[in-house]
Structure 1
Amino acid sequence: MTSASSARRRARWPWVVLVIVLVLAALGVAAEFIARSVVPSTVRSLVIDNLDLPADQQLDVQVPGMMLPQLIAGTLDEVRLASDEVTVGGISGSARVTATDVPVSGGALGAAKGTVSIDQDEFSSLLDSAQLPVSRIALAAPNATVEGEVDLFGRQIPVGITVTPGAEDGDLLLTPVSLSLNGMDVNLDAVSGMIGSAGDTITQPQRVCIADRLPVGITLTGLRIEGTSAVADISADGRITVDQKLLENGTCPRS
């Protein structure tokens, strides 16, 4: 009798183990599901609050990989943020940002990089402090063409300047590649000697400070024209999540 009971218990034991494993697996799946529901919405709320965005701001949040191990470790390996239309520091456009080593309990990020895509009007507003005659601007990859007028020999002459945008030390960099005066193409190298200091202004590479349009903790690292949009590469100081001063707009030197 004892031998038979022992045999039955031994027979049931693998099934008991299997049931326990399945229950634990189900609990793990449920916990992962809950984490995937709660964490992105929490991250979204924190970003909206910290950047002072509208409560109904469209902002998609993704956390790749298994969530539970990351939560247990206390750090999210990667968080991806995306919005088709957002305004940060006075610049509006669509944004894609990836943050790494994001502490669950709060603290500085490991790093954050991304892109912001802006239209022609928004790009034009970045040139407000540029020493260029801007009355109209058109973007066509890989360049931007600025049109306006320059004072030449006491007359206002129509000018068109085609530049390749870029970035240098956080500033917007405009490098002229072609020029037209009064509808005629002219040689860039010859213009400076023809019209003096005005020629230097429109034919030499020009840096445009945009620090006053961005939070201190965000730096422009690159800029290119894609189609009819300007795509800016940005990087963020990891301390932007803990230092309120890094969320304030920067300043530009007075000319």
Structure 2
Amino acid sequence: MSGATQPTLPLPEASAAPARRRRRALPWIIALVVVVGLAVAAWFIAESITRSILTNTVREQVITQLALPEDQQIDVGFDEPVLPQVIGGSLDRLDIASDDVPLGDVLADVSVRATDVPIRGDGDIGSADATVVFAEDQLEILLSQVSGVSGAGLTLDPPNVTVDVDMPVFAVSVAVGLDLTPSAVDGDIVLTPTAVRLGNAELTGDGLRDRFGSVVDGVVRDYPICIRDRLPAGLTLREVHVEPSALVAEVDVDGAIIRDASLQADGTCS
């Protein structure tokens, strides 16, 4: 019986075990992808909600602190993402901008950029500056409040503001044209004559004085425009220049304005 044929046992399929392992691993891979997807979605939802809350809060605070109209359009911008900054307690950058902001009896376009802004009210802003832009018609209103200038006929011819003034000479008034260059002096806008025109002739201040004497001193002089009473006390004029359609004032912002009510109140022209 030694020659009898032995029964042949079926060999296991080599790929069966790996296939089963792949089938067992597949649900875990799917679950991991779903969890990661949910986490990413939750992050974006949290980021969106945080940004919306922060934007609304900043807007409401600006309107309240500066006594602006409730419907004032205010644009707010931050560095992204916002959520980690909120968790850390300060904003890397905060931009606030609004057009036609009422500043007393004039309107101006105002923009502010601040860095390292604490959001819990327990510290000062790292740094901040603002830009205040007065259109030509608004500058006319400001200039009309300066003694000796009506503001009418004002034109902006960079780098100068050009105006016509009436110079009283005995019983008559002589029209004099002035080119005024703006500068910032002790927080005020100061317009300084750089050219004088009498009719079609361009003169210097001394040349006009030679013709009309000391009466010229009332015309050829500095013209200060105070805007401190139209801005919060925590803002200080640093620089001013003329653009084709506007006078632009660059302003420093005191970092403590975020928590100091006295700096948020209007300044004075005393």
**TM-score, L = length of structure 1:** 0.85
Instruction: Provide Cα deviations, 1:163-193, integer angstroms capped at 9, x if missing partner.
Output: 1212133121223221112453223332344
1:159 maps to which residue?
A: 176
Cα distance, 1:36 vs structure 2: 1.9
The residue type paired with residue 237 of structure 1 is D
1:106 and 1:249 map into 2 onto residues whose CA distance is 21
1:38–1:212 Cα change, 3 Å: closer
Instruction: Provide Cα deviations, 1:181-231, integer angstroms capped at 9, x if missing partner.
Output: 245322333234443444344435554433233221111111111112111
Alpha-carbon RMSD: 2.7
- The secondary structure found in structure 1 opposite 2:45 is helix
1:40–1:139 Cα change, 3 Å: same
1:28–1:79 Cα change, 3 Å: same
1:120 and 1:249 map into 2 onto residues whose CA distance is 23
Contact 1:76 1:104 in 2 (8 A): yes
The residue type paired with residue 49 of structure 2 is I
For structure 1, the 5+ residue unaligned runs are: none
Instruction: Provide Cα deviations, 1:54-99, integer angstroms capped at 9, x if missing partner.
Output: 1111111111210111011010111111112111355411122112
1:62 maps to which residue?
A: 77
Task: Say whether residues 1:112 and 2:149 are aligned partners.
Answer: no
- The secondary structure found in structure 1 opposite 2:175 is strand
Q: Give the one of 178, 184, 189 matched to 2:201.
A: 184
2:10 maps to which residue?
A: none
For structure 2, the 5+ residue unaligned runs are: 1-17
1:12 and 1:122 map into 2 onto residues whose CA distance is 69
2:172 and 2:19 map into 1 onto residues whose CA distance is 112
Q: Give the one of 129, 142, 145 matched to 1:126.
A: 142
Contact 2:143 2:149 in 1 (8 A): no
Contact 1:164 1:175 in 2 (8 A): yes
Contact 2:144 2:151 in 1 (8 A): no
1:111 and 1:87 map into 2 onto residues whose CA distance is 25
Cα distance, 1:125 vs structure 2: 2.9
Rg bigger for which structure?
A: 2
Instruction: Provide Cα deviations, 1:222-243, integer angstroms capped at 9, x if missing partner.
Output: 1111112111112221222222
- The secondary structure found in structure 2 opposite 1:127 is helix
1:197–1:130 Cα change, 3 Å: farther
1:40 maps to which residue?
A: 55
1:181–1:133 Cα change, 3 Å: farther
Task: Say whether residues 1:223 and 2:211 are aligned partners.
Answer: no
1:234 and 1:194 map into 2 onto residues whose CA distance is 41
Of stretches 7-16 and 30-39 in structure 1, the one that deviates more from structure 2 is: 7-16
2:163 maps to which residue?
A: 146
Cα distance, 1:49 vs structure 2: 0.7
- The secondary structure found in structure 2 opposite 1:203 is coil
Instruction: Provide Cα deviations, 1:121-173, integer angstroms capped at 9, x if missing partner.
Output: 32123335545433521112221111120112442111110112121331212
1:73 and 1:250 map into 2 onto residues whose CA distance is 33
The sequence identity of aligned pairs, in percent, is 37
Of stretches 163-172 and 74-83 in structure 1, the one that deviates more from structure 2 is: 163-172
1:24 and 1:106 map into 2 onto residues whose CA distance is 31
Of stretches 120-129 and 5-14 in structure 1, the one that deviates more from structure 2 is: 5-14
2:35 and 2:151 map into 1 onto residues whose CA distance is 73
**Greater RCO structure (CA 8 Å; 6+ sep):** 1
The residue type paired with residue 40 of structure 2 is A
